[in-house]
Amino acid sequence: MRVVVRHDRPIAEALEGTREGLSVVAAESTAEAVERLPAADALVVNPTLWDDRLLEGLSAGDWVQATSAGYAAFPTDAFDDAGIAFSNAAGNYGPPVADHALALALGLARGVGRCRDAQRERTWDRGVGDTLIDLEGRTLTVVGLGDIGEAIARRGRGFGMELYGTKRRPEAYEGVVPDGHVLPSDGLADVLPETDLLALAVPLTEESRGLIDASALAALPETALVVNVARGAVIDEAALVEALETGEIAGAGLDVFESEPLPETSPLWDRDDVLLTPHVGGRSTAFVRRFVDLFLENYDRRRADESMTNRIV
């Protein structure tokens, strides 16, 4: 099998030599990938680098393996119509993204940004202590109790937080959020007024797009923190900026944005009540190893004519 890898991490290098008969080519551009795909059987690509021109090099029987859990950027209907298999990397991101969500929450709660600014100025600013909060006893609401959301909830429980969460089918939930605290998606509004930390981990769908809008933000306490490690479009970004400016919420930790890279003109850059990171929540030193393990599992399953893990199409 020949695999074309279109990615910004050394996945091609890590895959090379892992299986007899597996040939790996790293494509440095979309044009190179399109050129090499007709002679290949599979494509490894992340959503940021997906380009519909890649369809020109794919044909029936090929396999596209996404390196992401989310797949809104991929033309799954086109894959289905063309007879192209497609699988994602769900299950690979729970630990790092949950860690990142809590890092953003703790950074806001414990004034890390302000302390870092003071450090650069060599200023001993103990006044920051008057603004710090602790997480124990506070209420964490996780929107989307999938793999990532469940990992966030487990960490919240470790901090002694009261847990709520949403899931499309609450009756199928098995996790750490207590009975009666797992709500259907349309039950989120019921718990927003008592939510101290709102963590977004829901996939981007037509239902979740703009889910956290002006009314949802207004329903939160003024002391609430919002953390988004899902997709930027889950929050109405203009409404978020307005809520921060008017003091409707206390702060936001954001790893994802409606437009990426975040435009230089965005007011989010300059806000002291915002911590932002450049969509790296799923990255870690274990990123490549985790993905290679998943790819090889699917490679072996495909060779054995068995069903693949995380197959979407």
SS3 294: helix
Among 13, 245, 260, 297, which one carries the catalytic annotation? 260
Rounded Cα distance, 67 and 12, in Å: 12
Among 36, 114, 138, 231, which one carries the catalytic annotation? 231
Are 2 and 299 in contact by the 8 Å Cβ rule? The answer is no
In angstroms, the Cα distances linking 185 to 106, 111, 189 are 26, 32, 9
- Looking up tokens 């799923």 gives 282
231: annotated active-site residue: yes
283: annotated active-site residue: no
State the DSSP H helix or E strand holding residue 11, giving kind and residue range, or none if neither: helix 11-15
7: annotated active-site residue: no
Closest CA to 104 of 235, 11, 198, 36: 198
H helices present in 40-124, as ranges = 76-82, 94-109, 112-120
Q: Going edge to edge, which strands form the sheet with 2-6?
A: 23-26, 2-6, 42-45, 63-66, 85-87
Q: How far apart are the first and last CA of the chain?
A: 20
Among 36, 100, 279, 290, which one carries the catalytic annotation? 279
Output b/e per residue, 145-179; b: 16+ Cβ within 10 A. bbbbbbbbbbbbbebebbbbbbbeebeebebbbee
Residues classed as catalytic: 231, 260, 279
